[in-house]
């Protein structure tokens, strides 16, 4: 499974990228608003830090507007083996824009997917990624992971579908593990959840015991 981080905080991305764990980054207008900086500037910096896909979302709601904005965003990646993925909503207009970009070899992340039927349409439109929002489904009493299971099964039946399942709206490590067990291609997670994957009390306890025993020897490796 690949890990994307869901943030527009450049400092967080730089720190996590140093771990070697990041395969890509996803952003959205809400995250950009939190960053409090010009969008194009932020996307450019992120694309320089992370060689994998960087999703940059359009804000237009009509296909023509999405295409104009997407071209502007995609231009940021020129000269870097273009790693910008244009992010569009899973609407009829969004899928028109997806088809236009995918026909030109441009990566597209189709976001706000809440049903298997929608995921089929995204794959038919040539999306590089489809982003089902598991946490938001759980919030309204539905089973987000059941949707991931359905999409993974459906996509496996059709070799012509090249769309990767990008699990989004992840609320905790349990979502990451469940998605991995189901065979999802990618999880995009907020920085704090990615760091939670490291944590276990027995790891901390064991390390403390090892260090205490080592200190008693009075030795130094250096």
pLDDT tens by residue, 102-154: 999 999 999 999 999 999 999 999 999 999 999 999 999 999 999 999 999 99
- Rounded to whole angstroms, the Cα distance separating 34 from 41 reads 14
* Structure confidence at residue 78 (pLDDT): 63
* Structure confidence at residue 139 (pLDDT): 97
Q: Are 62 and 32 in contact (CB under 8 A)?
A: no
Spell out, as residue ranges, where the chain has pLDDT lower than 70: 78-81
Q: Which helix (H) or strand (E) covers residue 129, if one does?
A: strand 129-132
Q: Which domains are seen in the chain, by residue range?
A: 2-217 (3.20.20.70)
User: Within 10 A of 159 (CB to CB), how many other CB atoms are there?
Assistant: 7
pLDDT tens by residue, 112-126: 999 999 999 999 999
Catalytic entry in 71, 87, 124, 205 = 87
* 87 included as an active-site residue: yes
Among the residues of the chain, which ranges form H helices? 10-17, 29-35, 39-49, 63-74, 92-102, 116-124, 134-139, 144-156, 173-182, 191-196, 201-217
* pTM listed for this prediction: 0.94
* Structure confidence at residue 77 (pLDDT): 82
């Amino acid at each position: 499974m690949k890990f994307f981080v869901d943030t527009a905080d450049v400092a967080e991305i730089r720190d996590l990228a140093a771990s070697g764990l990041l395969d890509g980054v996803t952003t959205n207008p809400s995250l950009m608003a939190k960053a409090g900086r010009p969008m194009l500037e932020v996307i450019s910096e992120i694309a320089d830090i992370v060689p994998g896909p960087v999703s940059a979302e359009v804000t237009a709601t009509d296909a023509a507007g999405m295409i104009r904005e997407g071209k502007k965003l995609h231009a940021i990646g020129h000269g870097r083996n273009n790693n910008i993925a244009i992010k569009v909503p899973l609407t009829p207009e969004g899928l028109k824009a997806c088809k236009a970009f995918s026909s030109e070899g441009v990566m597209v992340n189709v976001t706000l997917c809440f049903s298997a039927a929608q995921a089929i349409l995204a794959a038919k439109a040539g999306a590089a990624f489809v982003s089902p929002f598991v946490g938001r489904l759980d919030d309204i009493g539905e089973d987000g992971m059941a949707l991931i299971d359905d999409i993974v099964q459906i996509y496996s039946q059709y070799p012509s579908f090249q769309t990767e399942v990008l699990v989004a709206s992840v609320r905790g490590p349990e979502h990451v593990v469940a998605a991995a067990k189901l065979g999802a291609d990618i999880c995009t997670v907020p920085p704090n959840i990615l760091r939670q994957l490291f944590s276990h009390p027995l790891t901390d306890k064991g390390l403390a015991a090892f260090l205490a025993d080592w200190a008693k020897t009075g030795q130094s490796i250096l």
